[in-house]
Structure 1
Amino acid sequence: MANDIAVYWQPGCTSCLRVKQFLADHGVAFASHNVLEDAVARERLAALGLRTVPVVTKGEAFVFAQELDDVAEFLGLPKRGARLPVPELAQRIEALLEIAAAMAGKLPAEHLQTSIPKRERTYADIAYHIGQISVGFLDAARGATLTYQHFERRPPADLSSADVLVDSLTGIHADFRSWWTASCKHLPETLNTYYGRQPLHQVCERTAWHMAQHCRQLEHILGQIGIGGGPWLTVGVLEGLPLPRDVWDAEIEPPKDA
């Protein structure tokens, strides 16, 4: 494989972690550019007209790396096998929203604004983000567009109680269930996203595993700060989802008693 392949990524980005592991698993050597710390890398992306990560480049060509099959086609690698069916993915999304609400409710007030290393993202942000991943999918499924801004939304800056997080996740769960009940028999084939028009099946799968990965992170955080009650995530919830092996990038794993 040519040595001019590069991955542009940022810490805490689940798709970034997944594509780096995908390339490593296939023996692909690549230059790794953390855009939060590498100004030259940011300039390079801007020159290509890109504002989001992950991106894989090869010479002057590039591909958005949210979908591994796109990366595989770009680099001539084997594509993945079968995906879970959409009804099963919808059940997983509902289960993950319920689990996320339960875990968010365990976050102590003094840790809501604790940030993960190397990224301006708090523990409360992660819990809130899980719900917004689902909101982005729902907006696209209802005819709007899944935008990168969906993933940048944050809870109120003056958040002092986990109740706001729980209420948000619970409300999103109810909305998702209502949408699925009304729409499951006449789903659109494709959705508008910030990385192009995509098959609903792929976006639904990405929604499920993206949420699951952040649930893994939230579960790990609770363990690190000494909060019991788990495990929340079972094999049945995670099995069949194309998750990264690791919970965190090596650079940002939160220390114990953070």
Structure 2
Amino acid sequence: MKEEVVKVYWQPGCSSCLKTKEFLMDNGVPFKSVNVLEDKTGFKDLERFGVKMVPIVAKGDAWANGAVFRDVAKVAGFDYKAHKMLEPKIMVDKIIKINEAAFRYLEQIPNEKLDTLLPGRPRSYRQLVYHIFNIQDVFLRRVEDNALYTYESLLSILPKEMKTKKDLADYGSKVRKNFLEWWHRDGVTTDFKQPGKVYYGEVILHEVLERTAWHSGQHTRQVLLMLKEKLNLVPNEPIEDVVFQGLPMPKNIWDNERSFSEGSYSGQALSSVEDFKNL
């Protein structure tokens, strides 16, 4: 009988995709890599599971969202040992520093470069920075308003009214202000062991907060890389490595298979959820 192969469905620049691939490699699990933006059978393969998102890890008829490592390990067939998470207050401090860094870097991006696409990914520089702020905002809406935490809400599609760099900067400032206000108002009394209520699996709120920190932090590292390698700019106050200490950051910044030095994506940036559904 032919042994089932572990498959990882991913796309370039996806922080969770990269972490998932690195997690499997660190645990000695061979897998077939499927870049859904280049392999058009990728999303079709996932239709049998009723999903159209990445990262997904599959083996035969079993599958898991790559964002939850204990589920990935179960599908891949090995034991998973969870790491020790930082205290929520420390994570919040890091999230604020990450937001501030992304805000500084946004100011350096020339207006005429904002809509340049990233390598191998239908996401612009503008959308990448928005994604950083939006990751934090989606968490806030979850804890403050019990809003749905969906895959679609994190697709980095800017609202139509957010047209200028100032609009985006104002959004980042507002998210930072709201995050601090939430923490000082409710942070101490928040039950971080409560269910996370997120699209990617059964996790507790503490895990969602940790993901908010490293996820937005990873994309801020990508913006830093973009400033240096694509725009030939000296970053304003490069974010210090200590900000990322204690967070489960990926080893690579862009990807382990694709180079950030390659050309921009040849298509167009996603401008709506329908664009993503039509990939």
- Which whole-Å deviations, capped at 9, do the CAs of 1:2-55 have from their partners, x for residues lacking one? 651111111111000111011111111101111112222211101210121111
Secondary structure of 1:120's aligned partner: strand
Letter in 1 for 2:210: E
- Does 1:20 find its partner at 2:21? yes
Letter in 2 for 1:247: I
Q: How far off is 1:85 after superposition?
A: 1.2
Q: How far off is 1:252 after superposition?
A: 4.8
CA contact (8 A) 1:8 1:56 kept: yes
Q: Percent identity?
A: 33
| Partner of residue 275, structure 2 | none
- Does 1:187 find its partner at 2:193? no
| Partner of residue 243, structure 2 | 237
- Does 1:133 find its partner at 2:135? yes
* In structure 1, distance between residues paired with 2:259 and 2:71: 27
Structure 2: segments with no counterpart, 5+ residues: 266-279
Q: How far off is 1:181 after superposition?
A: 1.2
- Compare 115-124 and 193-202 and name the one that shifted more: 193-202
| Partner of residue 155, structure 2 | 152
* In structure 1, distance between residues paired with 2:225 and 2:199: 30
- Does 1:214 find its partner at 2:230? no
* In structure 1, distance between residues paired with 2:156 and 2:238: 25
| Partner of residue 203, structure 1 | 208
CA contact (8 A) 2:224 2:238 kept: yes
| Partner of residue 71, structure 1 | 72
- Compare 231-240 and 206-215 and name the one that shifted more: 231-240
Match of 1:114 among 103, 110, 116: 116
* In structure 1, distance between residues paired with 2:150 and 2:263: 34
CA contact (8 A) 2:17 2:54 kept: yes
* In structure 1, distance between residues paired with 2:187 and 2:180: 10
Q: How far off is 1:164 after superposition?
A: 2.2
CA contact (8 A) 1:7 1:31 kept: yes
Structure 1: segments with no counterpart, 5+ residues: none
* In structure 1, distance between residues paired with 2:56 and 2:264: 34
Aligned length: 257
- Which whole-Å deviations, capped at 9, do the CAs of 1:148-206 have from their partners, x for residues lacking one? 12211323679774222211111110111111111112214222111244201111111
CA contact (8 A) 1:125 1:154 kept: yes
| Partner of residue 247, structure 1 | 253
| Partner of residue 277, structure 2 | none
Secondary structure of 1:82's aligned partner: coil
Q: How far off is 1:256 after superposition?
A: 9.3
Letter in 2 for 1:129: H
CA contact (8 A) 1:112 1:160 kept: no
Letter in 2 for 1:144: A
Secondary structure of 2:33's aligned partner: strand
| Partner of residue 48, structure 2 | 47
After the TM superposition, which parts of structure 1 deviate over 6 Å for at least 4 consecutive aligned residues?
A: 157-160
* In structure 2, distance between residues paired with 1:71 and 1:95: 30
- Compare 244-253 and 81-90 and name the one that shifted more: 244-253
Letter in 1 for 2:258: E
TM-score by length of structure 2 reads 0.85
